[in-house]
Amino acid sequence: MSDSEKGGKSEKSNQSQKRDRRPANNAVSAAFSELVTQWERNFDALANQFMGTETYSQAMNDMQKAQLGMQRNFADFMSRQLETMSMPTREDVVQLTELVRQLDRRMERIEEKLALNDRPARKTKRPARTRTPQSVSAAVSIDDPGAKEQNPVAQKAEGPTRGTDK
Amino acid sequence: MSDNNQQSGGLEAQLAEAQAGVRSFVEQAVARGQKGLALANASPQPVGLTSKEVLYARGTLRLYHYAAQTDDVYRVPVLLVMATTNRAFIFDLAPGRSMIEYMVQQGFDMYVIDWEAPTMAERGLTLKDYTQDFIPTCIEKVQEDSGEEDISIVGYCMGGVLSLIYAATHIEGPLKNLVCLTTPVDFHQTGLPQVWNDPRYFDVDYLVDTVGILSAESVTQMFEMQRPAQRLAGQLRLWDQILDDDYVDNYRAFNRWGEETLPLAGEYVRETTKELNWGNKLYTGELMVDGHNANLASVTVPLLSVVAEHDHLAPRDSTKPLLDLVGSEDKAEILLKGGHVSLIAGPNAAKRMWPRLNEWLSVRSV
């Protein structure tokens, strides 16, 4: 159990006590939430207006190119130093990794072919692939007439939606 | 005399009320502090808990199969293709908050293509690898595992784009249904990234030749720059709701997903920038992948496009033309409230999107 889970449980009784006198707090919380939403909307709109200009795009890309240039020069310098010291460069390590991967893939293919010849029976029984939407609705109407309208997962899912999008 | 008593009684009541208010404020502040401290030291929020097994793994590719939770399943298995920029656990955040769990409980045999961070050795991956090797190989594995020839694909964001390219270049099958979730096709309508990727200023060759792999930080930055206030606003909301365990759990799961954004193979970035962002060739029907023309008019399988009203990463104008471009006769679009992520995960997705997906796919999966 993680620390947060432990903490969460020990606080639950405190929370329920606090929730009893939440009406005033709820109003404050709602106002705060609305304030944050408004601020977020306005800030994003303003920033997007600025960042959506050609000037911004040019400046951002120029800056990125300058950073990449420095990165490239440093990599070249390091590569030369490592060569002088007879040490493998990053490029060498990458090439070596690729070779190992190729061997790995070749091994995998051989193993697959061998496995095809000696495949064990499935351990677990798979369900029949006979389900139809009609069979589902029929089962629902017999067992529980109200269940068709329910979505237990949807009912269980609660929590934040705003602010979750990338 | 009695007036004085009344006045002093009123003052006492006001004083008691003020004391209670201060006490409540201090108690809340202490509780928030304790919870904040616990959160700061907490291990990552557990995600992706629906029972599954790795069916196939190669380099950046992972193919998972989810265990059935019903006595019988629909005949046609479903393969979910995740976007290359993010991990697939957004579809399986937690029990009761998982689209995959929901679909499995509805009787679908679910398979998921997820991605690991590509290594430097995989920097040369291109659209050809994803659409002519990874997806077809996974389809073969699903066919082998399920014993079924037909298969339905559900692609999310760039996973939808890859699925569309696959479908357009494999017109003989075995694809039975295709669902595209928030999938852009007109890349000249993507908003800010279109401005930032202006070929006059953005030197993609220089970038890819220098870095080899586009880092996860760069990908995250590109997402966050489109909503620069979102992170801080999210933290403020968390502070406000920190005593609500459900809210905190959900926040941490979403936050973990955002923080585990994946790096991208350089050649893939180069190709998508030139062919899709600049050339807009998926939209014009000129896209060539491994010698095959990925013309969307060749896609004739039943197709469902699910799009979000307030999607800033795949804006409405970029997703809208899909239905007109495909050659399918059985096609539909569902426009729902929400954004790029809240369309597929979270309470609104559970209420709005998942049942609609189940409804559309179930009648086409027998």
User: CB-based contact (8 Å) between B210 and chain A?
Assistant: yes
* pLDDT mean over B295-322: 94
Contact B247 A136 (CB under 8 A): no
3-state helix, strand, coil in chain B (%, to 5): 50, 15, 35
Q: Is the pLDDT of residue A43 over 50?
A: yes
Pull the structure tokens for residue B73: 């399943």
pLDDT for B200 equals: 94
Contact list, B38 vs chain A (CB under 8 Å): 3-4, 6-8
Q: Is the pLDDT of residue A142 over 50?
A: no
Which pLDDT tens digit goes with each residue over B222-231? 899 999 999 9
User: CB-based contact (8 Å) between B117 and chain A?
Assistant: no
pLDDT for B198 equals: 92
* pLDDT mean over B171-197: 94
| Cα B80 from Cα B89, distance rounded (Å) | 12
pLDDT for B181 equals: 96
User: CB-based contact (8 Å) between A110 and chain B?
Assistant: no
pLDDT for B165 equals: 98
Which pLDDT tens digit goes with each residue over B319-360? 999 999 999 999 999 999 889 999 999 888 999 999 999 999
Contact B247 A37 (CB under 8 A): no
Pull the structure tokens for residue B282: 């998926």
Radius of gyration of chain B (CA): 25
pLDDT for A122 equals: 58
Which pLDDT tens digit goes with each residue over A44-102? 999 999 999 999 999 999 999 999 999 999 988 888 888 888 888 877 887 888 788 77
pLDDT for A162 equals: 40
| Length in residues, chain A | 166
Contact A68 B340 (CB under 8 A): no
In DSSP terms, B79 is beta-bridged to B111, B153
Contact list, A38 vs chain B (CB under 8 Å): none
Contact list, A102 vs chain B (CB under 8 Å): none
Q: The pTM is what?
A: 0.81
Look at A114 and B181; give whichever has higher pLDDT.
Answer: B181
Which pLDDT tens digit goes with each residue over B121-164? 889 999 999 999 999 999 999 999 999 999 999 999 999 999 99
Contact A129 B148 (CB under 8 A): yes
| Cα B114 from Cα B335, distance rounded (Å) | 26
Q: Is the pLDDT of residue A140 over 60?
A: no
> From the CA of B192, how many Å to the nearest CA of chain A?
6
pLDDT for A136 equals: 66
* pLDDT mean over A3-31: 52
pLDDT for A120 equals: 60
> From the CA of A28, how many Å to the nearest CA of chain B?
10
Is residue B112 a contact partner of residue B91, using CB atoms and an 8 Å limit? yes
Note whether ipTM > 0.95 here. Answer: no
Hey, which residues 51-110 in chain B have their CB within 8 Å of chain A? 58-59, 68, 70-75, 96-98, 101-102, 105-107, 109
Instruction: Share the mean pLDDT of chain B.
Output: 92
pLDDT for B105 equals: 95
User: CB-based contact (8 Å) between A148 and chain B?
Assistant: no
Considering chain A, what percentage of its residues have pLDDT values greater than 90? 26
Least confident of A59-73, A145-159, B4-18: A145-159
Is residue B57 a contact partner of residue B92, using CB atoms and an 8 Å limit? no
Instruction: Share the mean pLDDT of chain A.
Output: 72
Contact list, A105 vs chain B (CB under 8 Å): 58
Residue A149: CB atoms within 10 A of its CB come to 7
Contact B31 A130 (CB under 8 A): no
Contact A157 B350 (CB under 8 A): yes
* pLDDT mean over B52-67: 92
A141: confidence class by pLDDT, cuts 50, 70, 90: very low
Contact A47 B258 (CB under 8 A): no
Based on the number of CB atoms within 10 Å of its own CB, is A14 exposed (0-12), middle (13-18) or buried (19 or more)?
A: middle
Report which listed range, A103-117, A142-156, B246-260, is most confident.
B246-260
* pLDDT mean over B287-308: 96
Most B CBs within 10 A among A72, A132, A166, hence the mutation to make, goes to A166
Which pLDDT tens digit goes with each residue over B76-85? 999 999 999 9
User: CB-based contact (8 Å) between B182 and chain A?
Assistant: no
Number of alpha helices (DSSP H) and beta strands (DSSP E) in chain B = 15, 13
User: CB-based contact (8 Å) between B118 and chain A?
Assistant: no
Most A CBs within 10 A among B43, B45, B217, B227, hence the mutation to make, goes to B227
Q: Is the pLDDT of residue A154 over 50?
A: no
pLDDT for B17 equals: 86
Hey, which residues 27-66 in chain A have their CB within 8 Å of chain B? 29, 32-33, 36-37, 39-40, 43-44, 47-48, 51-54, 56-58, 60-62, 64-65
Contact A153 B237 (CB under 8 A): no
